Amino acid sequence: MSSTLFRTKKVEQSILDTEEPEHALKKSLSALDLTVFGVGVIIGTGIFVLTGTVAKNNAGPATALAFVAAGVACALAALCYAEFASTVPVAGSAYTFSYASLGELPAWIIGWDLVLEFALGTAVVAVGWSGYIQSLMDNAGWAMPAALGSREGSDVFGFDILAAALVLVLTGILVLGMKLSARITSIVVAIKVTVVLVVIIAGAFLIKGENYDPFIPKEQPVEAGASLDSPLIQLMFGWAPSNFGVMGIFTAASVVFFAFIGFDVVATAAEETRNPQRDMPRGILGSLFICTALYVAVSIVVTGMQHYSRLSVDAPLADAFKATGHPWYAGFISFGAAVGLTTVCMILLLGQTRVFFAMSRDGLLPRFFSRVHPRFKTPHRPTILLGVVIAILAGFTPLTELAALVNIGTLFAFVVVAIGVLVLRRTRPDLHRAFRTPWVPVIPILSVCASLWLMINLPAETWVRFGIWMAAGFFVYFLYGRTHSRLAKGEETKPEQTL
């Protein structure tokens, strides 16, 4: 049985499958489109909230260094993604990469993981967007009925109609085509980045040098916890991280890392890129560099405007402007966050549908979902199905407690991709690699270590939920996927079938 569980799909076969007329996606994206997608999904509420929160609780002004450390950890994974995405330009991201290097069962596991990650991510972001819109409506004197408002912290049965409506509208846009999605994303990202730049520039004039003293505050040890809410590393070794000091920078890095989640979604669009060998590395690495620079700039501004010890936790950047006598920026920041979250939601939904589509095309999920729309050349069936399911999920469910599953899913994907680079370098040294991860095996090994470190710093409860989802995935695979996969049936796309 082990030989069937770890059967790999040849890279050449994966590429041939993308050329089948009924299962071929339209190639319309450029390096700029990919970079915009990356910036669009990475920059969300984190840049307005997480920067100040971490400064107050973990690192002080040295939060800027924490963002640099987290950016480096992401860059290690990004280099591995860039090699795979340029070598195997096929929809599915880490799922497809795993199928080519590690085998069918690992590929299924990572695909199942990504479906959960992107679904919950989309729903969580949609609920967050709804909250911002309702806040702006309240400022204008308009109030949503309780039965149609946010479910977060509410005891009233109802449906978050704004969150559900956003998901359904974005689903329609994705069905109509990638180029339309890219154009809308470009407009929204331009607005979002403009808001961020205005905040940075305006805040720079309000910086006071004494707020940076001390730049690295004195270390404060943290008592280790013993409940499932505690990080796994505390339960395993009794070790607790420190706040502030040099070690506080790395504690903060493990927190702000999650503000970077999303750049891996860019890799799911490899099949729809005109020149993936050249443009995928540019899009992945370019978006990560831009976002790191913006995060560092915002963290420097917010800790310079107000002393880190006086920053608020809920809306630190907005409140910092209020504290300096500029309350108008609070509404401006809320507007930027609300606008920005639309692209985060859309690109996460895009990523999920491409992974689902790739798994369906391989037969691990019903092949019904792998046929593209005859006119728009998009995977309309999984897009509509998943869009409706996520809209219902976002409408009925308060998702704060499940949001951590998005983080562990992403880190798990990082580990698998880094290992996959090492394996494919060994098993297929003959493959043409337009982009090669430098310093192999050092970079992939460092990426695995950094991701595992961040994973064991997540709450143990998150690991339990992740384990339950993975167990369900094994059940579905052995019940359906193992016997229905195209590799199991010996089905291969012939070159003449793609003509």
**pLDDT tens digits for 131-175?**
778 777 776 777 777 667 655 555 556 788 999 999 999 999 999
Say yes or no to pLDDT of 45 above 60.
yes
Gyration radius of the chain's alpha carbons? 22
Q: What is the pTM of this model?
A: 0.88
Label each residue of 58-94 as H, E or C.
HHHHHHHHHHHHHHHHHHHHHHHHHHHHHHCCCCCCH
Question: What is the arithmetic mean of pLDDT over 25-34?
Answer: 90
**Residue found under tokens 């009794």:** 238
Confidence of residue 443 (pLDDT cuts 50, 70, 90): very high
**154 or 66: which leads in pLDDT:** 66
Report pLDDT for 177: 85
Angle of helix 104-139 relative to helix 328-361, nearest 10 degrees, comes to 150
Say yes or no to pLDDT of 40 above 60.
yes
- CA neighbours closer than 13 Å in the CB half-sphere of residue 364: 28
Q: Are 80 and 424 spatial neighbours (Cβ–Cβ below 8 Å)?
A: no
What b/e readout covers 222-231, taking b as 16+ CB neighbours within 10 angstroms? eeeeeeeeeb
Report pLDDT for 493: 59
Report pLDDT for 39: 93
The per-type count for the chain, helices as H runs and strands as E runs, is 20, 2
Question: What is the arithmetic mean of pLDDT over 248-272?
Answer: 83
Say yes or no to pLDDT of 321 above 60.
yes
Contacts of 495 (CB under 8 A, 6+ apart): 16
Report pLDDT for 471: 93
Report pLDDT for 295: 93
Closest CA to 453 of 140, 289, 232, 267: 232
Confidence of residue 327 (pLDDT cuts 50, 70, 90): confident
User: Which CATH number is 33-498 given?
Assistant: 1.20.1740.10
Phi, psi of 244 (to 5 degrees): 65, 180
**Whole-number average pLDDT of the chain:** 86
- For the chain, give the percent of residues with pLDDT over 90: 45
Confidence of residue 311 (pLDDT cuts 50, 70, 90): confident
Query: Which tokens in the block code for residue 37?
Result: 């997608």
**120 or 286: which leads in pLDDT:** 286
Report pLDDT for 314: 65
Question: What is the arithmetic mean of pLDDT over 349-357?
Answer: 92
Confidence of residue 232 (pLDDT cuts 50, 70, 90): confident
Say yes or no to pLDDT of 130 above 50.
yes
Phi, psi of 29 (to 5 degrees): -100, 145
Task: Please state which of the ranges 69-73, 252-256, 289-293, 446-450 shows the lowest mean pLDDT.
Answer: 252-256
Cα(415)–Cα(110) distance, integer angstroms: 10
Confidence of residue 64 (pLDDT cuts 50, 70, 90): very high
